[in-house]
Structure 1
Amino acid sequence: MTEPNQTTNGQFGRQDNGEAGGRFIPQSPNEALRPEKVPSPPKRSREARSQLVIFLNFVMSMITLATIGAVALVYYAFHEYQAPGPLETNTTFLVREGAGVKEIASALERRNIISQARIFSSVTSFLGAGEAMRHGEYEVKAGASMEEVMELFRSGKSIQYSITFPEGLTVKQIFKRLAADPVLEGELPVDLPPEGSLRPDTYKFTRGSDRKAIVEQMQASQAKLIDQVWNHRDSDLPIDSKEQLLVLASIVEKETGKPDERPQVASVFLNRLRKNMRLQSDPTIIYGVYGGDGKPADKPITQSDKTKETPYNTYVIKGLPPTPIANPGRAALEAVANPSKTDYLYFVADGTGGHAFAKTLDDHNANVRRWRQIEAEAAKQKADAGSETDAAQDAN
């Protein structure tokens, strides 16, 4: 059987279906092994090629225009972000705790601090500064740019307020001050903390701070202070606990306002405790009668007050009262923990704002007589001054 394209005598050839009329044309072996040419795909028409080019050109033009527009928009946004703002005079602005960038931006625009809230929120978010802005009240300078406003809020340099509690206030008196402060917010605890548990001091805070948070801060600070003072106390004190230290310190706090006297006053009460004597402290009588509200300034202590039986009347009871009578400060606590080494058992006012101390009852009685003489002279001078004022008014 003869193979295709091969002659009977072994010669390779090809069939010519063209002009040769189907003649068989002999081929060399190399020609026979060469692959036949694959037909080319049909070519697109010129019209089709033109539409594709037009479409691609359109797409490229749109991309270019969009890029140029985006760049121009970004440039404009950052230019406005850094440009001076419309604010004409310094003002304050409160960043509410938990407020988002959009809320802050809208409030700034309403206050005419910035001109375009959308640019502020967009650029601030793009810069990743939105989450870094801290709550608080800030002073914004006149003409501040949006960038400067953002940096101010990020700095956390908010306006600081303060509230001061002098030593010797009761818990009720401290709560009244907290309630009256217009910058603080939130309700006070329903249950009053124990007397003596709040540290007198000056506390700083930002507008909108919570009143309960201030109370908690005062409690934690007082507890820490008491621990520190107790750990450095004299070893021979006639008191057995931090609670007793706090009670006696509150009495010392109310007895004198002179820092250099506190260790001496403390020594008097500690010496009395050692001798099992009554403390006989007037401030304890007042607390027993009036409680945490305090005695009215124009109402003196009466003899009946001194004999009234209350758990706090140290003219009646022996030892310490059941709780502190005020909130003592560091000086009073340290005075009790490290008192002066004296033999004093008595003290009385000396007319100079301080006290006269005595070891014996006779010396104390002499000091009392001097004090009463000073009081009598002061009362006479006051009465004489009043008479002169009345006479001058009658003459007019």
Structure 2
Amino acid sequence: MWRSIASNALTLLIVAMFLLGGVILWGQSQYKAAGPLADAICVKVERGSNMRRVSGQLEAAGAVTNGALFRIGADYAEKSQQLKAGSFLVPAGASMEEITDIVTRGGASTCGTEVVYRIGVTRATVQVRELDPATNRFVDVVSFEPAEAEAPEIFTKVRAQSDTRYRIAMAEGVTSWQVVDVLGKIDLLSGEVEVPAEGTLAPDSYEISEGDTRASVIDRMQLAQATAVEEIWAARDPEVPLSDPVELLILASIVEKETGVAEERRQVASVFANRLNRGMRLQTDPTVIYGITKGEGTLGRGLRRSELQRETPWNTYQIDGLPVTPIANPGRASLEAAANPDTTEYIFFVADGTGGHAFATTLAEHNRNVAKWREIEAERANQ
């Protein structure tokens, strides 16, 4: 009898073990299988949260089918205690295993709200943007100019959130003074910084965090520009009339200020290269303007005849060759155009009314283009 009982108990134990093994294998397959999400979502993990709370959020959002199984899988992977605060993008079809990795990996938030400090040529703005998980694109919530208006309530609200991300977006053609001016007004940053040499900052987007120093941001901008200049200078056309990387920066900054049309940068650069090769003065208005403002803001009006006639180290109507320094911070495309201009005979250009320019090889042709531009100006003034 006892032998029979023992035999039955052993049989039950073996069956139970097989069943448990089957349950474990089923659980593992469910944990690693594609999840039910049809569209990406943003999951916010609050500071001090735990796996139980997060699994409840995920289950409610339809990202996981079983919150308990999600927690067991995280425990088994020894990640339950590695939860990170922030807002994280969970893609469509993400498995429980993938979601566990996303919310425990750490690093910057991958979705949610971001504040962008935009440094533009004519104005500085602050944008609050929200990521749309379905499209993985940021949508503008509010935009304002700090110099013109008080910060809206939504900006104050997101500034108080721990998972808000911050970026500085520096446009091509802004001056070093403009960059430092904006950095000085961003309360996330600390410390003082001198205005760096003109042209040495790379226009780009830079992630920043609470407590970063202004000097560290400038260092990143300068390193990026120095790297780009070194690379582009090494690949330059050997016939380009530039003696060193500083002259490359100077010419690129003039190209940057003369045109915003990507397709004509190399043509504009060719005009200045041709003039330098022929010993002609560059005669470009942006250099005259820089001699007046020294990059501290915009002129805000047209040039006067007396200003065109006044000699400064930047007035290319009055001096030979390039000005003494860059007149702005050029972007990579303008650097590449200056290093490898188109091969043309152009020595003149003027606005054509479309946002671009009309190019000419002779003064007579140029004068006709100028006359057309004057007609366009007159028509616009009468509208």
TM > 0.5: yes
Correspondence 1:164 to 2:172: no
Structure 2 CA distance for partners of 1:209 and 1:372, relative to 1, 3 Å: same
8 Å contact kept, 1:187–1:211: yes
Paired position in structure 2 for 1:378: 380
Paired position in structure 2 for 1:221: 224
8 Å contact kept, 1:287–1:294: no
Q: 2:208 pairs with 181, 200, 205, which one?
A: 205
> Cα deviation per residue 1:139-192 (whole Å; 9 max; x = unaligned)?
499xxxxxx99x95762243432221110000011112222334x321231x22
Q: 2:189 pairs with 178, 185, 189, which one?
A: 185
8 Å contact kept, 1:277–1:318: yes
The equivalences for 1:247-262 within 5 A come to 247-262=250-265
Larger strand share, 1 or 2? 2
8 Å contact kept, 1:286–1:294: no
- Hey, which bits of structure 1, 4+ residues long, moved more than 4 A? 90-94, 127-130, 151-154
Paired position in structure 1 for 2:106: 155
For residues 240 and 316 of structure 2, the distance between their equivalents in structure 1, rounded to whole angstroms, comes to: 20
Q: 1:210 Cα deviation (Å)? A: 2.7
SS at match of 1:339: coil
Q: 1:287 Cα deviation (Å)? A: 0.2
The equivalences for 1:78-117 within 5 A come to none
Structure 2 CA distance for partners of 1:373 and 1:128, relative to 1, 3 Å: closer
Paired position in structure 2 for 1:246: 249
Paired position in structure 2 for 1:369: 371
Paired position in structure 1 for 2:348: 346
SS at match of 1:348: strand
Larger helix share, 1 or 2? 1
Q: 2:274 pairs with 264, 271, 275, which one?
A: 271
The equivalences for 1:320-339 within 5 A come to 320-339=322-341
Paired position in structure 2 for 1:138: 86
Correspondence 1:236 to 2:239: yes
For residues 140 and 338 of structure 1, the distance between their equivalents in structure 2, rounded to whole angstroms, comes to: 43
For residues 256 and 289 of structure 1, the distance between their equivalents in structure 2, rounded to whole angstroms, comes to: 20
For residues 46 and 299 of structure 2, the distance between their equivalents in structure 1, rounded to whole angstroms, comes to: 41
Structure 2 CA distance for partners of 1:173 and 1:222, relative to 1, 3 Å: same
8 Å contact kept, 2:183–2:189: no
8 Å contact kept, 1:162–1:202: yes
Q: Which runs of 5+ in 2 are unaligned?
A: 1-42, 55-77, 90-98, 110-162
8 Å contact kept, 1:129–1:154: no
> Cα deviation per residue 1:92-136 (whole Å; 9 max; x = unaligned)?
878xxxxxxxxxx7xx9xxxx9xxxxxxxxxxxxx9999x999xx
In structure 1, what residue type is equivalent to 2:341? P
SS at match of 1:194: coil
In structure 1, what residue type is equivalent to 2:224? S
SS at match of 2:295: helix
Paired position in structure 2 for 1:79: none
8 Å contact kept, 1:175–1:188: no
For residues 91 and 210 of structure 1, the distance between their equivalents in structure 2, rounded to whole angstroms, comes to: 28
RMSD: 3.0
For residues 209 and 91 of structure 1, the distance between their equivalents in structure 2, rounded to whole angstroms, comes to: 24
Instruction: State the TM-score, normalized to the length of structure 2.
Output: 0.60
In structure 2, what residue type is equivalent to 1:376? A
Structure 2 CA distance for partners of 1:358 and 1:173, relative to 1, 3 Å: same
> Cα deviation per residue 1:71-105 (whole Å; 9 max; x = unaligned)?
xxxxxxxxxxxxxxxxxxx97878xxxxxxxxxx7
Larger radius of gyration: 1
Paired position in structure 2 for 1:58: none
Question: Which has the larger displacement, 354-363 or 156-165?
Answer: 156-165
Instruction: State the TM-score, normalized to the length of structure 1.
Output: 0.58
